[in-house]
Amino acid sequence: MITAFVGLGVAGARKLAVGPAALLRQEPNVSPDPIERPEVELRRLDAALDAARRRLERTRQQIPLDTPAHIADFIDTHLLMLTDSALVDATRDLIREQHINAGWALKLQRDILVQVFDEMNDPYLSARRDDIEHVVRQIQLCLDCHDEPDSGDFILDQVKDCVIVADDLTPADAILLRQRGVAAFVTEHGGPMSHTAILARSLDIPAVMGVHRATAVLRQGEQLVVNAATGTVLATTEPETLDYFRRQLSSAESYRETLKQLLARPSTSRDGIPVVLLANLELPEDSAAAQANGASGVGLYRTEMLFLNHTRAPREDEHLANYLSILDALNGLPLTIRTLDLGVDKSIRYLSERLPPLINPALGLRAIRLCLKEPELFLPQLRAILRASAAGPVRLMIPMISTLNEVDSLLRLIQTTKRMLRREGLAFDPLMPIGGMIEVPAAALMAEALARRLDFLSIGTNDLIQYTLAIDRLDDSVSYLYEPLHPAILRLIQSIIEAAAKTRTRVSMCGEMAGDARYTRLLLGLGLREFSMQPGSLLEVKAIVRDSNVGALKRTMVELMPRIDDISSQHLLDRLAEAA
């Protein structure tokens, strides 16, 4: 029997794990029971704070040498919180004034602080509510073990090669668990901005978060298959299924090892054609993975995370700080910042409350349409992108263009913004490249006109496929129709690349197709020389590039494209494999 669960996948280079479930239950025992003597509770609180501090210090000492340096900072943040008066003194006051027990007082104070964090408008800071929750829970757990201070170490010993299933994990837990050789994490809580997600990516532990009721439904020791690329967890007892995934895992592992040798090698085909390999980033923290996998820059930084789940739009200084932190991490490599692309799967409460409901979100007021309509939302971002360009090689990229008017309006807006910044004495790069995403069939068919107005184009196949084939990319029931090798898609890609060549405009591809190694030869054969993808795919694609004869691939595509409607996908891929 196979049971499947879906959550939010958090994957570094490693995406798959197979292993027995190790359930980690860490719910502290907290209730509003009345107390007689506050002094006793104050002493219990002090002892628990002490035990929590010892535990964190022990974890800090145990951080493996090969762990990225910034990870120790997570532990330091928690150590500082243990002495923070907003948490500790305020909890003491609650115990004294309300005669409540220490665990309950911690809970009340945590609720107050979490509310303050929830109202913060910086997504990074507001995600730090997790830190408060983690620290408070550690102290509460230590309240129950004050006579044996070391029993505050809740991590099981027998977890090597296990899939940890927990309601939530602290950064400290993640570090200890990695050290004990766990295979993967499955958690009920936690989002992509949580420290634990950031850590899982940095530590290269595949994780699926937000799997509701995982600790209640999954059983200790049952075999799990975790796929962090798709966000799925399978619980199965079938030996054949497990064998199948173990084989997949072991070949993926040995292949990954051999790929590492490519890091220092150039991304050049066998016949000497250079190919630029760039990374897609969702969060500033992903720039570490981009560097570690040898990206030569960022071809797509999705900025939606800055806007999501908050009570107001981010301010210009918040945008700027975010972009500067990535530029800093990239150390001189180019950063392509895509302007806000909200509207379909990502929407924000402060907008949906103000704007009329979207009848069909995919065809409604999204991306550039929304930005031009809502200057209050967009201008701070535009100003910040321009200002960031003074600090490093920044490119601005516009999503979902469908008419030349949109591009002209945006270019005018950029000119006005530049004049404004000049008047204010704020620096920017006057030659900052401005590019557009080609992800609507209309834009693909007008690529030449767009290329004449813009400095670069980037093919967004995720949406281009959705709009060309009329398949909602979020709807499971039609996902079988989502076919990157559909002749119509290939013709559009070919014509975009040709339009770019004709106008001598740079063109890249940043949709998922660019990071799927099955299509690398095909795209090289169509003339693509710049690919942007999730960092974990970079080396795999580089291996294919280095193993390809681009001239031969080109000749094959020239021969096959005129009769592409009558050629099966498999035949096409086979012919390319032979030609390479």
Which residues participate in catalysis according to the annotation? Answer: 195, 510
Q: Does 302 bind ligand PEP (CB under 6 A)?
A: yes
Nearest to 17 by CA among 167, 158, 154, 165: 165
Torsion sign across C-alpha atoms 159, 107, 60, 75: positive
Using the minimum distance from each CB to ligand PEP, give the nearer residue, 434 or 438: 438
Q: Does 395 bind ligand PEP (CB under 6 A)?
A: no
Which of ligand PEP, Mg ion, none interacts with 133 (beta carbon under 5 to 8 A by kind)?
A: none
Min CB(473)–ligand PEP separation in Å:
8
Q: Does 286 bind ligand PEP (CB under 6 A)?
A: no
The answer to whether 489 and 464 are in contact (CB under 8 A) is yes
Min CB(514)–ligand PEP separation in Å:
9
Q: Which of 103, 511, 535, 536 binds ligand PEP (CB under 6 A)?
A: 511
Name the residue type at position 472. D
**Using CB under 5 A, which residues numbered 194 to 253 contact Mg ion?**
none
Q: In this structure, what token pair is assigned to residue 126?
A: 């507001």
Name the residue type at position 431. L
Min CB(55)–ligand PEP separation in Å:
40
Three-state secondary structure call for residue 456:
strand
Q: Does 190 bind Mg ion (CB under 5 A)?
A: no
Q: Which of 198, 199, 496, 510 binds ligand PEP (CB under 6 A)?
A: 510
User: In the Cβ-directed half-sphere of 75, how many Cα atoms lie within 13 Å?
Assistant: 23
Min CB(463)–Mg ion separation in Å:
4
Stretch in the footprint of Mg ion (CB under 5 A) among 54-62, 93-101, 455-463, 481-489: 455-463
Min CB(130)–ligand PEP separation in Å:
25
Q: Which of 121, 402, 403, 462 binds ligand PEP (CB under 6 A)?
A: 462
Q: Which of 7, 380, 460, 515 binds Mg ion (CB under 5 A)?
A: 460
Q: Does 512 bind Mg ion (CB under 5 A)?
A: no
Q: Does 463 bind Mg ion (CB under 5 A)?
A: yes
Which of Mg ion, ligand PEP, none interacts with 510 (beta carbon under 5 to 8 A by kind)?
A: ligand PEP
Using the minimum distance from each CB to Mg ion, give the nearer residue, 41 or 439: 439
Which of Mg ion, ligand PEP, none interacts with 381 (beta carbon under 5 to 8 A by kind)?
A: none
The set of residues, in sequence order, having a beta carbon less than 8 Å from that of 425 and lying 6+ positions away, is none
Gap between the Cα atoms of 74 and 128, Å rounded = 10
Min CB(458)–ligand PEP separation in Å:
8
- DSSP β-ladder status, 207-209 and 184-187: parallel
Min CB(533)–ligand PEP separation in Å:
10
Q: Which of 343, 460, 535, 536 binds ligand PEP (CB under 6 A)?
A: 460
Stretch in the footprint of ligand PEP (CB under 6 A) among 192-200, 378-386, 427-435, 454-462: 454-462
Q: Taking CA 534 as the corner, what is the angle to CA 533 and CA 539, rounded to the nearest 5 degrees?
A: 80
Gap between the Cα atoms of 61 and 568, Å rounded = 58
**Residue 185 is inside which H or E element, if any?**
strand 184-187
Using the minimum distance from each CB to Mg ion, give the nearer residue, 481 or 558: 481
Which of Mg ion, ligand PEP, none interacts with 123 (beta carbon under 5 to 8 A by kind)?
A: none
Which of Mg ion, ligand PEP, none interacts with 461 (beta carbon under 5 to 8 A by kind)?
A: ligand PEP
Residue pointed to by tokens 């704020």: 426
Stretch in the footprint of Mg ion (CB under 5 A) among 67-75, 113-121, 225-233, 456-464: 456-464
Please count the other Cβ atoms lying within 10 Å of the Cβ belonging to residue 483.
13
Torsion sign across C-alpha atoms 300, 466, 309, 398: positive
Number of residues that bind ligand PEP (CB under 6 A): 10
Give the Å distances, CA to CA, from 27 to 105, 349, 568. 16, 31, 55
Name the residue type at position 490. L
Nearest to 557 by CA among 493, 463, 465: 493
Torsion sign across C-alpha atoms 46, 52, 56, 59: positive
Q: Does 439 bind ligand PEP (CB under 6 A)?
A: yes
Gap between the Cα atoms of 485 and 491, Å rounded = 10
Using the minimum distance from each CB to Mg ion, give the nearer residue, 74 or 467: 467
Q: Report the C-alpha dihedral over residues 193, 195, 199, 205, rounded to 10 degrees.
A: -70
Q: In this structure, what token pair is assigned to residue 312?
A: 């107001």
Stretch in the footprint of Mg ion (CB under 5 A) among 9-17, 211-219, 381-389, 462-470: 462-470
Bridge partners of 394, per DSSP, are 335
Using the minimum distance from each CB to Mg ion, give the nearer residue, 110 or 366: 366
The set of residues, in sequence order, having a beta carbon less than 8 Å from that of 307 and lying 6+ positions away, is 123, 313, 314, 340, 342, 346, 348, 377
Burial of 331 (0-12, 13-18, 19+ CB in 10 A): exposed
The set of residues, in sequence order, having a beta carbon less than 8 Å from that of 396 and lying 6+ positions away, is 336, 337, 339, 382, 385, 386, 414, 432, 433, 434, 435
Q: Does 341 bind ligand PEP (CB under 6 A)?
A: yes
Min CB(302)–ligand PEP separation in Å:
5
Stretch in the footprint of ligand PEP (CB under 6 A) among 3-11, 286-294, 458-466, 497-505: 458-466
Please count the other Cβ atoms lying within 10 Å of the Cβ belonging to residue 392.
18
Min CB(346)–ligand PEP separation in Å:
9
Using the minimum distance from each CB to ligand PEP, give the nearer residue, 117 or 482: 482
Using the minimum distance from each CB to Mg ion, give the nearer residue, 205 or 371: 371
Three-state secondary structure call for residue 279:
strand
Q: Does 41 bind ligand PEP (CB under 6 A)?
A: no
Q: Taking CA 206 as the corner, what is the angle to CA 253 and CA 7, rounded to the nearest 5 degrees?
A: 135
Which of Mg ion, ligand PEP, none interacts with 51 (beta carbon under 5 to 8 A by kind)?
A: none
Q: Does 340 bind ligand PEP (CB under 6 A)?
A: no
Positions that interact with Mg ion (CB under 5 A): 439, 460, 463
Positions that interact with ligand PEP (CB under 6 A): 300, 302, 341, 439, 460-463, 510-511
